[in-house]
Amino acid sequence: MIVLTSLNKEKFALNCDLIYRIDEAHDTIITLIDGKTLRVMESTEEIIQKIIEYKRNIYSKLPEGV
């Protein structure tokens, strides 16, 4: 899960495996695989970095050979 900020400045956690695409307009729009959309304050690049950090953290804890 990654922590993002909604436009009303509330923090929430999002399962990044549910992201279909990310678009930037005046704000950042995340489209989920079920078609729902979320508008957040973070930029596309910030979201990508959060996903990379999250995945690194998860995969670094796997035993060797998995």
| DSSP assignment string, the chain | -EEEEBTTS-EEEE-GGGEEEEEESSSEEEEETTS-EEEESS-HHHHHHHHHHHHHHHHHTSPTT-
- Give domain status of residue 46, yes or no: yes
- Give domain status of residue 66, yes or no: no
- Give domain status of residue 42, yes or no: yes
pTM, whole model, 2 decimals? 0.88
- Give domain status of residue 56, yes or no: yes
pLDDT tens for each residue of 21-59: 999 988 999 999 999 999 999 999 999 999 999 999 998
Count of structural domains within the chain: 1
Kindly report the CATH number assigned to the domain that includes residue 29: 2.40.50
- Domain range holding 36? 2-60
